[in-house]
Amino acid sequence: MRAGHRGTGPGAITPDGCAVELYSRLPVGAEPEIIAGAVPTGAHILELGSGVGRMTHPLLERGFTVTAVDESAEMLEHVRGARTIRGPIEDLDLGETFDVVLLASFLVHNADLEVRRGMLRACARHVAEGGCVLIQREGGGYHGDLPRERTGRGDSGEFTVRIVSSEPVAEGVHSVHAEYEFPDATWTQTFRSRPLTREQFEEALREAGLRVDRYLTEDRTWVRAVPVTG
């Protein structure tokens, strides 16, 4: 388990506290649409932290080619129709480049600065000339106004996602506790997050040789970044 991360509930739990069965139940949201709107048709996408393929499968259906990376073999077992690579994102060095590198699910908020730097460098290392890196970051109010919950409906019925608490545990680092309730099962995840202001986020990109090309959504949670050239 990664330091400060924990998960409870049925089935396998990844080192960052995610439950494999939970992610195979959660429906995908607007992510594939946002991604498809920002990249060329038929692009080859390197998806970092793919999990069970919640986004991978809709992206494949839209005609993209996907290479899915995750450190959890149990997550990758559920991915169909994509090449899969198991390992830590921060160490990834495939010796090839992709039209698009995708770092979603707030992974850029990793609390460990070396891991975060490693992830962003991995993004920069794998993006082809003329390509882009798509990043999903937390919204401004992510750590405030808690508890906060939303309900949804998946194949296994209605569910509630509740962000219960977010407590500072070290300089610049919060411990977040989330609950996921389904009619027949409950999962929890406790994880560490390093909130980033827009300036801090853009500085983190710069350190890795990337810059913001444009923010893709009004809330600035989705970002299209490109390598700094020259």
Ligand X SMILES: C[S@@+](CC[C@H](N)C(=O)[O-])C[C@H]1O[C@@H](n2cnc3c(N)ncnc32)[C@H](O)[C@@H]1O
CB of 19 to ligand X, least distance (A): 9
- Whether the CB-CB separation of 142 and 195 falls below 8 Å is answered with yes
Element (H, E) at 119: helix 113-126
Instruction: Answer for the pair 132, 100: CB distance below 8 angstroms, yes or no.
Output: yes
- Separation CA 163–CA 148 (nearest Å): 5
The answer to whether residue 138 forms part of the interface with ligand X (CB under 6 A) is no
Q: Does 72 interact with ligand X (rule: CB under 6 A)?
A: yes
Q: How far is Cα 181 from Cα 154, in angstroms, rounded to an integer?
A: 12
Residue 182, Ramachandran bin (φ over 0: left; ψ between -120 and 50: alpha; else beta)? beta
Which of 54, 78, 109, 137 contacts ligand X by CB under 6 A? 54
| Residue of the chain from 46, 59, 79, 89 that contacts ligand X (CB under 6 A) | 89
Residue of 137, 121, 114, 126 whose CA lies nearest to 219: 137
Q: Which residue has the tokens 């390598």?
A: 227
Please tell me whether residue 55 binds ligand X under the rule CB under 6 A.
Answer: yes
Contact 96, 38 (CB under 8 A): no
Compute the least distance from the CB of residue 198 to ligand X, in Å.
22
Min separation Cβ 65 and ligand X, Å: 17
Applying CB under 6 A, the site for ligand X has a residue count of: 20
Chain residue whose CB lies nearest ligand X: 51
CA distance 67 to 85: 7
Stretch that binds ligand X, among 69-77, 154-162, 204-212, 220-228 (CB under 6 A): 69-77
| Residue of 49, 131, 195, 227 that binds ligand X (CB under 6 A) | 49
Nearer to ligand X among residue 18 and residue 45 (C-beta): 18
Minimum distance, C-beta of residue 175 to ligand X, in the bound complex (Å) = 16
Strands 98-103 and 44-48: parallel
Q: Does 104 bind ligand X (CB under 6 A)?
A: yes
Q: Rule CB under 6 A: which residues touch ligand X?
A: 14, 16, 18, 23, 49-51, 54-55, 70-72, 75, 88-90, 104-105, 107, 115
